[in-house]
Structure 1
Amino acid sequence: MNISFCNATLSDADTLVAIRIAAMRESLERIGRFDPQRARERFLASFDPALCRFIEVDGVQSGFVQIRPQEDHWLLDHFYILPEHQGKGIGAAVLHEVFATADVQRMPIRLLALRGSDSNRFYQRYGFIRTGEAEWDIHYVRQPS
């Protein structure tokens, strides 16, 4: 598996929204919150093309990641793998790349995961610790190793 990253541009917003919706649809439907328009608006409100990268596996666009550096941590703001590419180790490989850079810089990584989403187990498996909860999200942090 050859994973590479390509920078996103402002013109990629619709493609990124479609990836986000496809990746989150099942989890959002499970909790009765699937609304494509709201998903679009929430993504566009925090989309920064300079921070966003497509994930390509063997030349195939498989998802995207957006990391927002903060003063004392990195925010894993968006991380989505298309459903047809999930369960193949892509997410783990991407996290390992992110961890390697964060660890060198001694930066914790924070994120929010939708309550009831399978992503909660995924993040816990890779060392994220639950730090809090909100109405729809669970807060996590991973300290540098």
Structure 2
Amino acid sequence: MAHLSRRLAMMPRDYRLRDADDGDFDILYRIHRTAIGPYVEQTWGSWDDDAQRQYWRDRFSPARIQVIETEDGTAGYLELVVHPDHLEVANIELSPRNQRRGIGTSLLRSILEEAQSLHHPVRLQVLKVNPAHRLYERLGFVQTGETDTHYLMAFGR
């Protein structure tokens, strides 16, 4: 992932990526809560903050996370997993004030360019109630399946 992260970090844009560390837990959890909380509530009926925080703590892995920063501070995070045969956007979340500013589009385009250079498809899943699925479709992702709660999407092969 280090090679991929360096290449993504060198691409020009209005944000920068940096490796996450343990000190990012609280701010990234707050961003997660505000970015995804409403969709969790729509999908499952409620947000149990204690359970969600514990779930977040159990799966928080700074080695897999890039923090998205703008001149205003921490804007969100990207969790990109490199598999032998594809790239997986495990999470891409932006704080509400940083949504609809082109950051997600720019970041995803950079990931798609990198994936194409590696001849890898990109896969992700998105909650059905999350309007981000329209962004993914605009960028060329297609639905490859679904669960009760998520659309499974892919770009490339």
Task: State which of 96, 99, 115 in structure 2 corresponds to 1:86.
Answer: 99
Contact 2:14 2:103 (C-alpha < 8 Å) held by counterparts = no
The CA RMSD over aligned residues, in Å, is 1.8
Whole-Å separation in 2 of the counterparts to 1:42 and 1:76: 19
CA contact (8 A) 1:27 1:118 kept: no
Q: Which residue in 2 is equivalent to 1:14?
A: 26
Counterparts of 1:38 and 1:132 in 2: how far apart (Å)?
A: 28
Amino acid at match of 1:124: E
Q: Which of 5, 21, 27 is the equivalent residue of 2:39?
A: 27
Gaps of at least 5 residues in structure 2 are 1-12
Following the alignment from structure 2 to structure 1, what is the Cα–Cα distance between the partners of residues 59 and 142? 24
Letter in 2 for 1:9: D
**8 A contact 1:111–1:141 mirrored in 2:** yes
Match of 2:79 in 1: 66
Q: Give yes or no for contact 1:112–1:138 (8 Å, CA) kept in 2.
A: yes
Deviation of the 1:20 alpha carbon: 1.1
Q: What secondary structure does 2:62 align onto?
A: coil
SS in 2 for 1:141: strand
Could you state the TM-score of these two structures normalised by the residue count of structure 1? 0.88
- What stretches of structure 1 move > 4 A for 4+ residues in a row? none
Deviations 1:61-85 (A, max 9, x none): 1111010111211110110010011
Cα distance between partner residues in 2 of 1:73 and 1:37: 34
Give the alignment partner of residue 89 of structure 2, picking from 59, 76, 83.
Answer: 76
Deviation at 1:38, TM superposition (A): 4.0
What is the aligned residue count?
A: 144
Choose between structure 1 and 2: higher helix proportion: 2
Report deviation, 1:132: 0.8
Other-structure match for 2:62: 49
5+ residue gaps, structure 1, are none
TM-score, structure 2 normalization:
0.82
Give the structure 2 partner of residue 134 of structure 1: 147
Aligned to 2:108: 95
Q: Which of 14, 19, 36 in structure 2 is aligned with 1:2? A: 14
Q: Percent identity?
A: 26
The answer for the alignment partner of 1:143 in structure 2 is: 156
The verdict on how the C-alpha distance between 1:23 and 1:136 changes in structure 2, with shifts beyond 3 A counting, is same
